[in-house]
A and B are shown apart, each in its own frame.
Chain A
Amino acid sequence: MEKTAAANRTVRLRIKRCDGPGKPSRWEEFRVPIEPGSNVISCLQAVAANPVTVEGTQTTPVVWDSGCLEEVCGACTMVINGKVRQSCSCLIDDYVTGNDDVITLEPMSRFPVVRDLWVDRARMFHNLKRIKAWVPLDGTYNLGPGPREDAATAERRYVLSTCMTCGCCLEACPQFDLEPDPATWDTSFVGAQVFGQAQLFNDHATSRQHAGERLDVLMGPGGINDCGNAQNCVQVCPKHIPLTQAIGAIGRAATIHAFVRFFRG
């Protein structure tokens, strides 16, 4: 690595590090050789292979999370130059063009840090359970084929189904806060990801039967009314999920549900 580093371009990664939950964080900077097509993950691999800071101090390898390396699993989400996105699809050349420029990497701030750039997104899965984000099929006998889905509904739902639980929409949301204590998760704000998924399943011919229960949850604390319509979620969603449309649709369903509940009991 030493022999190519001098000839080729380098980038400096300024990384916010943390040794474990509750531990203090610190900044460290690493110099990494890059070539056309390098991305943040490939640079992190270079740091892992040679964990020496720009000052020449030997340190521990930087920890990050990743899976698919093609922007479909959401595991590698982090805050790059102040904005949340997937690191695997983050090309260095899109961020810096010069030699030895700096790129800043931080873990997401609305989830507890496990270590360095790796955060624990368990709350997102907890929230999906809160709204029963699935199609209820379990039973003791064969229910036969499900109802047919028309093309328009399928198209509407397809884009919602591409959500990868990455957390971008929550990290950028001014109403979504870090909640380290799971005891608060049943009343703290669920965020846009859940609104998208609630819409996905409320629009499903079979799963629709849970729509009322989902709305009951979403009309309570932490639900749809805690959204402040800043609409950052839809701007940062890497899957271009129409989250603000889902928010409007849930708001409408909640209005109707409240009237029905009031008059029918």
Chain B
Amino acid sequence: MSQQTTFLDRHHFLLRRLHSLSGIVPIGLFLIAHLTTNSSILWGKLGLRGEHPEFSWSQGGAAYFAKEVVWINEQVPHLFLIELTLWLSIGFHAVLGTIYALTGRMNTSAYPYGANKRYRLQRASGYIGILFIFYHVATLRWGWTFLIPGGTAWSHNFASSTLAAALRGGEEFTAMGMVVSAFYFIGVSLLVFHFANGLWTAAITWGLTVSRAAQQRWGYVCAGLGAGLMAMAWASVIGFAMHSPAAAREVETKMHPDAAAMPQTP
């Protein structure tokens, strides 16, 4: 080798494989869990298993989601360490992913094959995805409320109502709220694609799928998983954007009567 080698070159294989792995665990695994919890705004009544029979379908969703969020915050040990691991993994994957993506030269117009389009979308979804995740975590978790139209601070004691208000830009839909909701819809859809397609390529990277037939079969599995996650992702965004914050707050107050006295900020 003629030139001096860089850190990336010296640990080339390890970093590449860690990048692949980090997309699956922890990030991908978190995504599955996160979308399952978030979509409960639509199916939460089932999750209550007969508790609060007086709740309507929509109240049940808000109640179950609130319960889940409180459970995570109160019961999961070392939550902050888990969060830190997640943030660092996303940062690691995003930085390397950007570096790797910059080595490519898109040529889908000359070679418009399906896999080539997915290759391109994998990179585009990564770029837009990190913008979404940054906005998402900064506003909801780090309290950068100046980036939320209406300035709602997300609170885990008022999980459903504050989330609905953050998406709507206030109690009712505002123009900026629609922009936020649309951004959520696009960001979440792209990230679900990125994960499902990433699972497909990762199987080639690691050598699990070798033959064309195996790659095709695994492709169907990934598409199926992607479709399921996409349904949950859309259910989450639509479910919260369509939920009235006032109605959700009523449920949250009923669930724990002392909630009204609790701080509105996390």
Complex Cα gap A18–B165 (Å):
62
B207 touches A245 (CB 8 A): no
The count of residues in chain B whose C-beta lies closer than 8 Å to any C-beta of chain A is 38
Interface residue? A244 (CB, 8 A): yes
Encode contact with B along A48-92: 1 for CB under 8 Å, 0 otherwise: 000000000000000000000000000000000011000000000
A247 touches B204 (CB 8 A): yes
- The residue of chain A having its C-beta at the shortest distance from the C-beta of B117 within the complex is A230
What is the distance, in angstroms, from B213's C-beta to the closest C-beta of chain A? 10
Which residue in A189, A236, A248 is a CB contact (below 8 Å) of B209? A248
Interface residue? B206 (CB, 8 A): yes
Query: In A211-265, which residues have CB < 8 Å from any B CB?
Result: 219-221, 223, 225-226, 228-232, 235-236, 242, 244-245, 247-256, 258
Interface residue? B56 (CB, 8 A): no
Query: In A100-121, which residues have CB < 8 Å from any B CB?
Result: none
Which residue in B16, B109, B116 is a CB contact (below 8 Å) of A225? B16
Residue from B3, B13, B107 having most chain A Cβ neighbours under 10 A: B13
- The residue of chain A having its C-beta at the shortest distance from the C-beta of B116 within the complex is A230
Residues on A with beta carbons closer than 8 Å to the beta carbon of B119: 174, 228-231
Query: In A181-219, which residues have CB < 8 Å from any B CB?
Result: 183-184, 186-187, 189, 219
Query: In B75-132, which residues have CB < 8 Å from any A CB?
Result: 100, 103-107, 109-111, 113, 115-116, 118-120, 122
Complex Cα gap A244–B2 (Å):
31
Residues on B with beta carbons closer than 8 Å to the beta carbon of A226: 103
Complex Cα gap A174–B109 (Å):
12
Interface residue? A29 (CB, 8 A): no
Interface residue? B137 (CB, 8 A): no
A219 touches B12 (CB 8 A): yes
Residues on B with beta carbons closer than 8 Å to the beta carbon of A174: 104-107, 116, 119-120
Interface residue? B212 (CB, 8 A): yes
A232 touches B211 (CB 8 A): no
Residues on B with beta carbons closer than 8 Å to the beta carbon of A242: 212
Which residue in B13, B106, B201, B212 is a CB contact (below 8 Å) of A229? B201
Interface residue? B174 (CB, 8 A): no
- The residue of chain B having its C-beta at the shortest distance from the C-beta of A79 within the complex is B110
What is the distance, in angstroms, from B127's C-beta to the closest C-beta of chain A? 15
Interface residue? A131 (CB, 8 A): no
Residues on B with beta carbons closer than 8 Å to the beta carbon of A175: 103-105
Residues on B with beta carbons closer than 8 Å to the beta carbon of A251: 204-207
Residues on B with beta carbons closer than 8 Å to the beta carbon of A187: 1, 3, 5, 9
A254 touches B113 (CB 8 A): no
What is the distance, in angstroms, from B241's C-beta to the closest C-beta of chain A? 35
Interface residue? B217 (CB, 8 A): no
Do A254 and B13 contact each other (CB < 8 Å), given the known contacts A175-B103, A248-B215?
Answer: yes
Do A177 and B107 contact each other (CB < 8 Å), given the known contacts A231-B115, A248-B211, A252-B208?
Answer: no
B12 touches A220 (CB 8 A): yes
Residues on B with beta carbons closer than 8 Å to the beta carbon of A254: 13, 207
- The residue of chain A having its C-beta at the shortest distance from the C-beta of B106 within the complex is A174
- The residue of chain A having its C-beta at the shortest distance from the C-beta of B1 within the complex is A186
Interface residue? A172 (CB, 8 A): yes
B205 touches A83 (CB 8 A): no
A177 touches B210 (CB 8 A): no
Which residue in B105, B110, B205 is a CB contact (below 8 Å) of A82? B110
Which residue in B13, B115, B122 is a CB contact (below 8 Å) of A220? B13
Do A230 and B13 contact each other (CB < 8 Å), given the known contacts A245-B210, A252-B207?
Answer: no
Residue from A172, A248, A258 having most chain B Cβ neighbours under 10 A: A248
Complex Cα gap A204–B105 (Å):
34
Residue from A189, A221, A242, A255 having most chain B Cβ neighbours under 10 A: A221
B104 touches A255 (CB 8 A): no
Interface residue? B34 (CB, 8 A): no
Which residue in A83, A248, A250 is a CB contact (below 8 Å) of B111? A83
Of all A-B residue pairs in the complex, the 4 with the closest CB atoms, nearest first, are A252-B207, A230-B119, A248-B210, A231-B115
Q: 28 interchain pairs (CB within 8 A)?
A: A83-B111, A172-B107, A172-B111, A174-B120, A177-B105, A183-B3, A186-B2, A187-B1, A189-B103, A221-B12, A225-B12, A225-B13, A228-B119, A229-B115, A229-B119, A229-B204, A230-B104, A230-B119, A231-B116, A231-B119, A232-B111, A245-B210, A248-B204, A248-B211, A248-B215, A249-B207, A251-B207, A253-B207
